Amino acid sequence: MSPTVTTSSEANGNVSAATARAAAKAAAVAEATGPQPVTMAKALNTALADAMQADSTVLVFGEDVGQLGGVFRITDGLMATFGEQRCFDTPLAESGIVGMAVGMAMNGMRPVIEMQFDAFAYPAFQQIISHVAKMHNRTRGRLKLPLVIRVPYAGGIGGVEHHCDSSESYYAHTPGLKVFTPATVSDAYRMLREAIDSDDPVVFMEAKKLYWSKDQVDLEALRREHDGLSDGGSGTHAQRTEGRAVVARTGTDATLITYGPSVPTAMAAAAAAAEEGRSLEVVDVRSIVPLDDETITASVRKTGRAVVIAEAPGFASISSEIVARIQERCFHYLAAPVRRVTGFDIPYPAPKLEHYYLPSVDRILDAVDDLQWED
Amino acid sequence: MIPANCGYETWFRTILKANSGYRRDGPMTISADHTAAENTDLNAVQADAQEAEVRRKFGISLEAYMLPAHRQIQMVDPEGQLKAREEQGTEAGHEYPLPGDAELVAAFEQLVVGRRVNDQNSALVRQGRMAVYPSSHGQEACQVAAALCLSEGDWLFPTYRDAVAVMARGVDPVEAMTIFRGDWHGGYDPLEHNVGIQCTPLTTQLLHAVGVAHAAKLRGEKTVVLAMCGDGATSEGDFHEALNFAAVFHLPVIFFIQNNKYAISVPLSHQTVAPSLAHKAVGYGMAGERVDGNDLVALLAVLDRAVKLAREGSGPLLVEANTYRMQAHTNADDATRYRAESEVAEWMAKDPISRLKTYLQGRGLLDAEAEARIAEHAEAVAKQLREGLGEDVPVDPQELFRNVFSEPTPQLREQSALLADELSREATTREETAR
Ligand SMILES: Cc1ncc(C[n+]2csc(CCOP(=O)(O)OP(=O)(O)O)c2C)c(N)n1
Ligand SMILES: [Mg+2]
């Protein structure tokens, strides 16, 4: 059952040797039971391998995803395990990658493609906006495009220009695209499997700075949970993630609403606030499209105060959308105007300046302090 | 509401820790760290193998095979006379047998129907029954050849100008025209006839063609895909990406360029200084050929061979058809602003229909009875278009929300309810005022 996945060092060797090592490793993995320390990168990699194992129409391609296993090693070992027909490197052309994926999806495949970095997906913009998002609508539902575009995104990693963009708003603004962004290791597995299962195209945004975050995760249990879901079952742990935000920490005084790379910062802020005697709830949006208005509004109605946190520039962004929706739906429950902590409206800064830009615990706590507690 | 993920609390601390050291030693590398494949120049090895295969199959060098013949392939001259073999532009390795009589007669019928479709649609635009129609008047031979060279199960990827080709593949004429009628963006099911949507963003469809061919190849199917674009479109990035992808993955895609000399107002000389568009093929490692795009006989000869080669596994091919857009870009365009009447008149004399008609009549393949039957067929299609597009098709405002996703999101359901409410209030007001 357990698909074989190799580590990055193995991807450097030749394919057959890697396959042998992968098989040995798979046996070891299969034996391991219960929660293990797992990185988000590993969870994503396992989700890809499991999806490829479960469905031979799932294909993985992009730049450097084959032999190398991706610059972030998310596709590590997939070529060795599933062969060069199912996981392969393409010529270096993002529009080509997406456009070809459109044709493949039209013709019975479920491509999962990788854009190497956020800003390098822009050459594919026309294909994504004009075709990926619209083919289903244009053909009155006759053509479905079950494809996943994986985009490593956002900063906080000391990356140089073009490697740290928060580009989620471009996609979310385009009707016809689903946009997911997991913040936990478990959600990374769950959401990628769900994205691949989806008959709609999904832009799957992976916060680069979370790739090496670790959690105690039972991958086998997640696998079972997913299989229960796709069988239409509702196993005890079964959690559909599409369109469902999650309350990452419960609290009573104010709600921090965030997603992706900013979730750990919000969690840290909530922990710090607790020490100061303030109980903050944290909502991880995780499914940007479709958005879970219900969970967000339920939390804000409960606490009466909210701060929306996102790394992207705040102007015309996901954070502005969330604020607008809270104000439309929770106006009479609010004790204070909804605040935002976002990136400044500037091009993503150079590495030595990025800490001025990124939402920080202090900035979040300042915003919380501003929520008119005296009134 | 969903209960909190039990892992969040412990997990976020590990991230903060993991990230603190990241700036210095994180794998922020974009350079591949695997060793180059044993220093072997795979491309050189491949080229040698290709060279050997081409020499065996066609008796010429790889370069001579990929470069187009020195002149365009033309079999029947504008006067409708079959040219002498040595005048047809064919060369060693670029040989094209004359298509069979039955194929030519069937093609002539489609040609006449295609012209009638073009002119009927233009008339419907003038009458305000269609928003716009980019006519392929003058290019019908290309349209018909693109459709007829393919077998059942093959795929066609057309542009906005290729409605005649779409219909010649069997798509219902009225469904094909829905895109220009204004009640939806597309009218036919691409999967029913293996015909892609009539694509407007230039050359984006070429990549879809590549993907369809790639998927078919992975399943071991012998599907051939013909992808159409215009001369202006060859300047787009997706043109390059599609040709390169098709070549690298060795896919059975035929890139069929209708060089009608203009991209709206801009002449070909502003798009490229390449010797011809067919010459672009060699840069991707594929064969290119030029053909008289108003000579249906030559078009079928060249495309039939291209389809055969592609199906046999020769990889992609490029065919440039030398034709002319006889009318304005669309009804909204004024062609007199950028081209001389004398140029149009010159091309009028090279019309694809009169030429094939003369040829077939000369060969005794087309008598008055057959002509009458074909004319009747064309009239029937024109009538179908008039009736289908004359009807005021009822639109359903709720359809706006139906197919954005497989299932409407909660937000779309809300918006659809909003519109429904607005419309029902409007209806009530209308009723009240009527009373
Ligand atoms: C990406 C893109 N840019 C611009 C346009 C607007 N446009 C529509 S048709 C056209 C000219 C295309 O010329 P050509 O490729 O030669 O095809 P033709 O119209 O002559 O058949 C232009 C510029 C478009 N549809 N798509
Ligand atoms: Mg043109």
Output the average pLDDT for chain A: 91
List, as ranges, residues with CB under 5 A of the ion ligand 2: B 230-232, 260, 263
Higher pLDDT, B331 or B279: B279
Q: Is residue B155 part of a domain?
A: yes
Are the Cβ atoms of B237 and A73 closer than 8 angstroms?
no
Checking if the pLDDT of B28 tops 80, the result is: no
The CA-based dihedral angle spanning residues A256, A321, A284, B416, taken in that order and rounded to the nearest 10 degrees: 130
| Chain B nearest-CA residue for A241 | B2
In this structure, is residue B3 part of a structural domain? Answer: no
Specify the CATH number for the domain of residue A215.
3.40.50.970
- The pLDDT value recorded for residue B391 is 79
Q: Which residue has the higher pLDDT, A237 or A253?
A: A253
CA of A348 to the centre of ligand 1 (A): 35
CA B253 to CA B155: how far, in whole Å?
Answer: 9
Distance B263 CA to ligand 1 centre (A): 6
Shared domain for A262 and A300, answered yes or no, is yes
Nearest CB among A91, A139, A140 relative to B244 is that of A91
Which residues of A are part of the catalytic machinery?
163
Task: Tell me which of A15-19, B296-300, B310-314 is least confident.
Answer: A15-19
Least confident of A46-55, B4-13, B51-60, B91-100: B4-13
- Lowest model confidence (mean pLDDT) among A18-32, A108-122, A235-249: A18-32
Q: Which residue has the tokens 């009155």?
A: A140
Average pLDDT for residues B215-234, to the nearest whole number?
A: 98
Relative to the alpha carbon of A127, which ligand is closest? 1
Averaged pLDDT, B45-60: 92
User: Is B14 a residue whose pLDDT tops 70?
Assistant: no
| N-terminal to C-terminal alpha carbon distance within chain B | 49
The answer to whether residue A313 is domain-embedded is: yes
- Last residue of one domain, picked from the residues A230, A263, A284: A230
Half-sphere exposure of B157 (CA within 13 A, CB side): 32
Given a cut of 50, is residue A202 above it in pLDDT?
A: yes
- Give how many domains chain B has, as a whole number: 3
Q: Which of A164, A196, A230 is at the close of a domain?
A: A230
Instruction: Assess whether A70 and A166 both reside in one domain.
Output: yes
Range of the domain at A175: 36-230
Best residue in B403, B415, B416, B418 for a mutation probing chain A (most A CBs within 10 Å):
B403
A-interface mutation test, from B6, B10, B12, B203, most A Cβ less than 10 A away = B12
What is the reported pLDDT for B41? 83
The CATH number for A279's domain is 3.40.50.920
Least reliable range by pLDDT among A237-251, A266-280, B220-234: A237-251
B269 & B412 share domain: no
Q: Are residues B55 and B76 in the same domain?
A: no
Q: Is B422 found in the same domain as B354?
A: no
**Do both A189 and A280 map to the same domain?**
no
Instruction: Please indicate, yes or no, whether residues A252 and A197 belong to a single structural domain of this protein.
Output: no
Domain-embedded: residue A8? no
Condensed to tens digits (0 to 9), the pLDDT of residues A301-331 reads 999 999 999 999 999 999 999 999 999 999 9
Indicate whether B2 belongs to any domain.
no
What ipTM, to 2 d.p.?
A: 0.91
Number of domains in chain A: 2
From A57-61, A284-288, A310-314, B429-433, the region with the lowest mean pLDDT: B429-433
Average pLDDT over residues B238-267: 98
Indicate the pLDDT class of residue B30, thresholds 50, 70 and 90.
Answer: very low
Q: What is the mean pLDDT of residues A196-223?
A: 97
Per residue in A40-87, pLDDT (tens digit) is 999 999 999 999 999 999 999 999 999 999 999 999 999 999 999 999
Sign for the pseudo-dihedral over CA of A244, A249, A252, A256: negative
* Pair A100, A222 in one domain: yes
Q: Would B171 be classed as within a structural domain?
A: yes
Specify the CATH number for the domain of residue B284.
Answer: 3.40.50.970
Separation in Å, CA of B201 to nearest CA in chain A: 8
CA–CA distance, B217 with A122 (Å, rounded to integer):
29
The whole-model pTM stands at 0.91
Least distant ligand from the CA of B329 = 1
Phi-psi region of B137 (alpha: psi -120 to 50; beta: other; left: phi over 0): beta
pLDDT in tens, B158-212: 999 999 999 999 999 999 998 888 889 988 999 999 999 999 999 999 999 999 9
Q: Does pLDDT of A9 surpass 80?
A: no
Assign B356 a pLDDT band (cuts: 50, 70, 90). Answer: very high
Same-domain check for residues A250 and A226: no
Same domain, yes or no: B382 and B412: no
CA distance B191 to chain A (A): 8
Residue B40: domain span = 8-64
Ligand 1 atom showing the smallest separation from residue B200 Cα: 25
Q: Is residue A15 part of a domain?
A: no
In a domain? residue A340: yes
Buried b (16+ CB within 10 A) or exposed e, B7-31: bbeebbebbeebbeebbeebbbeee
Same domain as B83, residue B19: no
**Main-chain dihedrals φ then ψ at residue B224, nearest 5 degrees:** -105, 140
Residue B25 has what pLDDT?
Answer: 31
β-bridge partners, A202: A148, A178
Chain A residue with minimal CA distance to B414? A293
**One domain for residues B56 and B147:** no
Q: Which pairing describes strands A287-289 and A178-180: parallel, antiparallel, or unpaired?
A: antiparallel
Residue A130 within a domain: yes
Q: Does A94 share its domain with A70?
A: yes
Structure tokens at B115: 């012209």
Q: Tell which one of B200, B204, B264, B266 to mutate to probe ligand 1, the residue whose CB is within 8 A of the most ligand atoms.
A: B264
Give the model's pLDDT for residue A26: 54
Domain presence at residue A177 = yes
Does one domain contain both A73 and A208?
yes
- Considering the domain architecture, whether residues B224 and B339 belong to the same structural domain is answered as yes
